[in-house]
Amino acid sequence: MTDDIILRAEGIRKSYGDLEILKGVDFSIRKGESCSIVGKSGSGKSTLLNVLALLDKKDGGKIFYDGSDTDLFSEKDVVDLRRSMIGFVFQNSLLFEDFSAFENVLITLTIAGLKQKEAMEKAEDVLISVGLKERMSHRPKELSGGERQRVAIARAICNDAGLVFLDEPTGSLDEESKSNVEELLFSHMMRKERSLVIVTHDADLSMKADSRYVLRGGILERV
Ligand code: ADP
Ligand code: MG
């Protein structure tokens, strides 16, 4: 059975000038599966995530979403796919500092095209689901590192993204916030049958994933 594979990448290559970062990466992920990717700093983990999420262009190889070749997608198709299916939590997640946690999520939903009332209800639901019921009106600077990361995750999942990419989601967190975020990723999100691709330095977090990979020498190896 291959029809529950939501993303498949074959032979992905990417260089910056003369620097060859990805040298033929193969990867696939199924509905409801979690994958972790570890690798040394500078090995190309963020580059790979950006390419897989169609935020950055590849130099070679193929990427299929739900079996469709993304090389055949128009720019609009790519935007639609990202809006409807993909969530992304960046390495240094940028929140709008002048807006509350609630508004940070609301803006994302409004951009996604939801009507005001619907967007407001959804923003509230999502923030409750990541455990921030009591923090909705706080601005980012009034939140702890773990809470900020929860807002970033809320933003990434508020469009009901089936596939969420997370680039070192617990990188800057203390132990307690780390385990809270891990709990959020592996309980709540998995219950909803989301698929996760998590880049991490954290061995514990990596071990919790269904499939584990290491990026080494520009190649992704299953471990
Ligand atoms: P990782 O996330 O594994 O630490 P990155 O994917 O961020 O690694 O970067 C991999 C390599 O590519 C690094 O050596 C970095 O300096 C280089 N690199 C990343 N982005 C760019 C860019 N936009 N232009 C040139 N080089 C880049
Ligand atoms: Mg990185």
Kindly state the helix (H) or strand (E) to which residue 28 belongs, with its residue range. strand 19-30
To the nearest whole number, what is the mean pLDDT of the chain?
91
- Residue to mutate (ligand 1; options 12, 15, 21; most atoms within 8 A of CB): 21
- Three-state SS string over 83-141 comes to HHHEEEECCCCCCCCCCCHHHHHHHHHHHCCCCHHHHHHHHHHHHHHCCCHHHCCCCHH
Around 40, how many Cα atoms within 13 Å sit in the side-chain half-sphere?
7
- Tens of pLDDT, residues 59-105: 999 999 999 999 999 999 999 998 889 999 987 778 999 999 999 99
Q: pTM for this structure?
A: 0.91
CA 40 to ligand 2 center in whole angstroms: 9
The ranges of the chain with pLDDT < 70 are 1-3, 188-191
In this prediction, residue 188 carries a pLDDT of 67
Do residues 79 and 28 make contact, with C-beta atoms less than 8 angstroms apart? no
Do residues 97 and 103 make contact, with C-beta atoms less than 8 angstroms apart? no
Kindly state the helix (H) or strand (E) to which residue 205 belongs, with its residue range. helix 203-208
Number of the ligand 1 atom closest to the C-alpha atom of 91: 2
- Tens of pLDDT, residues 132-150: 999 999 999 999 988 998 9
In total, the chain counts a number of residues equal to 223
In this prediction, residue 212 carries a pLDDT of 97
In this prediction, residue 2 carries a pLDDT of 52
In this prediction, residue 56 carries a pLDDT of 95
Number of the ligand 1 atom closest to the C-alpha atom of 17: 25
Number of the ligand 1 atom closest to the C-alpha atom of 48: 6
